[in-house]
Amino acid sequence: MSRRRPLLALALVGALALGACGRKTAPLAPEQRAPAAVLDLAAVIREATVELTWTNPNRRVDSSVLRDLALARVFRVEDAGGGEPKPAMLVDGRIAGWAEVATIRLAAPAPADVQGRRVTLPDREAREPGRRYTWVVVTADALGRTSPPSRRVSLTLIAAPAAPPDLRATPGDREARLAWGPPARLLDGGAPSGTIEYEVLRAPAADAALAVIGRMGAGELALTDRGLENDRAVWYAVRAVRTAAGATAYGPPSARVVVTPRDTTPPSPPGNLVAIPSEGAVRLSWSASPEPDVVAYVVYRAGASGELARIGSTQPPNTVFTDRDVARGVYRYAVTAQDSAATPNESARSSEARVTVP
């Protein structure tokens, strides 16, 4: 009896173990549960600072949804250029042999700016002109599982261009015509070199943030911004963008200028003017102008000779006018259309109608 009990116990343990293995899959390796790598790390120079941007992952390496991303770490290495930058080897959550630039905790991300998954970080320590700087980013979840390194991104530090001078803005009908000059120097005092393009920026108010509305190529020093609202002021600035040695450097924006687009297009003149005289009066009629913003028709009169003078007006849809208390004689009439612009535009005059009042 005593020998059978141990054998029975061993048989039960073995059966349980076999049954459990049949119901469970093999556990995932820890690295399979780590956040996926950052895919879009980029670096540009803004004035005297390198700006890094990237998108935090929302998936893990095994493609499952990542809900507990906790932080991002940024690492940098520098060299004189030439050849491949130092490899980015992940060891215990860090990049071996690289300097840690920042640890960004998503609960309190300063000095980074985090908008949703999009991260912007200034690196003010990369400042030696001509040196090549290289960055990588890793992220980690709440359990400390660290993603693979992002791709390396490198740039050789170059000087940004100064602000473009002499920005001018001329109003038009639902548009603003902008023109400016090329920067005379770089921010380090050197002469401009490389390729210099331009970003045009616009804001709806004097203290509102500027947004990029267009990019102009090298040597393009003008832009017409169309589709604006007439009689509403708009503010503009322009900045120069230099590309050299494989790096892109954004200069400071120019001083803002303000412009107010306005309707400068007059309506079509009225057509088919007819004048019918009677004793002491002349009745005028005409065909309406086709534009929808016509708010008045202006009536002009002159004698047989001399300049036409305004004698009255009427509002659409009315297209008739009676000139009363008219003395005997020969008269000439014309009509114009006037629109609703803040500074009204008046059409050319209609063809003249000539009558004799008995």
In a domain, 9, yes or no: no
Contact predicate 157/45, CB 8 Å: yes
pLDDT score, position 342 = 85
Mean pLDDT, residues 28-40: 83
What is the pLDDT confidence band of residue 3, given thresholds at 50, 70 and 90? very low
pLDDT at 48 over 80: yes
Q: How far is CA 207 from CA 203, 229, 235, 236, 258, in A?
A: 8, 19, 9, 12, 12
pLDDT score, position 29 = 58
pLDDT at 28 over 70: no
Percent of the chain with pLDDT over 70: 91
Query: Same domain, yes or no, for 250 and 340?
Result: no
Q: Token pair for residue 327?
A: 């003395």
Contact predicate 200/235, CB 8 Å: no
Closest C-alpha to 298, from 309, 315, 313, 317 = 313
pLDDT at 322 over 50: yes
Query: Same domain, yes or no, for 77 and 146?
Result: yes
pLDDT at 7 over 70: no
Closest C-alpha to 87, from 151, 138, 145 = 151
What is the pLDDT confidence band of residue 20, given thresholds at 50, 70 and 90? very low
Instruction: Please write the tens of the pLDDT for every residue from 119-148.
Output: 999 999 998 999 999 999 999 999 999 999
Q: Could you give the CA distance from residue 104 to residue 113 in angstroms, rounded to a whole number?
A: 10
Domain end, chosen from 94, 125, 156, is at 156
One-character DSSP codes across 217-278: -TT--EEEEESPPTT--EEEEEEEEEEETTEEEE-PPPPPEEE------PPPPPEEEEEEEE
pLDDT score, position 212 = 98
In a domain, 36, yes or no: yes
Please give the residue that has the higher pLDDT: either 27 or 200.
200
Q: How many CB atoms lie within 10 A of CB 279?
A: 8
Q: How many CB atoms lie within 10 A of CB 218?
A: 13
Q: Poorest-confidence range of 15-19, 177-181, 198-202?
A: 15-19
pLDDT at 10 over 70: no
Instruction: Please write the tens of the pLDDT for every residue from 98-123.
Output: 999 999 999 999 999 999 999 999 99
Contact predicate 267/350, CB 8 Å: no
Instruction: Please write the tens of the pLDDT for every residue from 53-103.
Output: 999 999 999 999 999 999 999 999 999 998 999 999 999 999 999 999 999
Query: Same domain, yes or no, for 194 and 310?
Result: no
Q: Could you give the CA distance from residue 141 to residue 322 in angstroms, rounded to a whole number?
A: 84
pLDDT score, position 31 = 66
Structural domain boundaries enclosing 190: 168-259
Query: Same domain, yes or no, for 50 and 108?
Result: yes
Greatest pairwise CA separation for the chain in angstroms: 147
Which domain CATH number covers 179?
2.60.40.10
Query: Same domain, yes or no, for 150 and 205?
Result: no
Query: Same domain, yes or no, for 172 and 251?
Result: yes
Query: Same domain, yes or no, for 93 and 123?
Result: yes
Query: Same domain, yes or no, for 300 and 235?
Result: no
pLDDT score, position 197 = 98
In a domain, 25, yes or no: no
Contact predicate 273/284, CB 8 Å: yes
Query: Same domain, yes or no, for 96 and 42?
Result: yes
pLDDT score, position 278 = 96
In a domain, 13, yes or no: no
Instruction: Please write the tens of the pLDDT for every residue from 237-272.
Output: 999 999 999 899 999 999 999 999 999 899 999 999
H runs (alpha helix) in the chain: 4-23
Domain end, chosen from 156, 183, 215, is at 156
Sheet strands (E) in 127-233? 132-141, 153-156, 168-172, 175-179, 195-203, 211-216, 222-226
Contacts of 103 (CB under 8 A, 6+ apart): 71, 72, 73, 74
SS3 336: strand
Q: How far is CA 13 from CA 7, 16, 20, 23, 262, in A?
A: 10, 5, 11, 16, 89
In a domain, 135, yes or no: yes
pLDDT score, position 198 = 98
The amino acid at 144: G
What is the pLDDT confidence band of residue 17, given thresholds at 50, 70 and 90? very low
Query: Same domain, yes or no, for 285 and 199?
Result: no
Closest C-alpha to 313, from 333, 296, 327 = 296
pLDDT score, position 343 = 87
pLDDT at 34 over 80: yes
Q: How many CB atoms lie within 10 A of CB 61?
A: 20
pLDDT score, position 264 = 87
Q: How far is CA 213 from CA 53, 54, 247, 283, in A?
A: 20, 22, 22, 54
Contact predicate 290/268, CB 8 Å: yes
Q: Token pair for residue 230?
A: 């007439």
Q: What is the number of domains present in the chain?
A: 3
One-character DSSP codes across 78-93: EES-SSPPPP--EETT
Query: Same domain, yes or no, for 341 and 315?
Result: yes
pLDDT at 21 over 50: no
Domain end, chosen from 208, 229, 259, is at 259
* Mean pLDDT score across all residues of the chain: 91
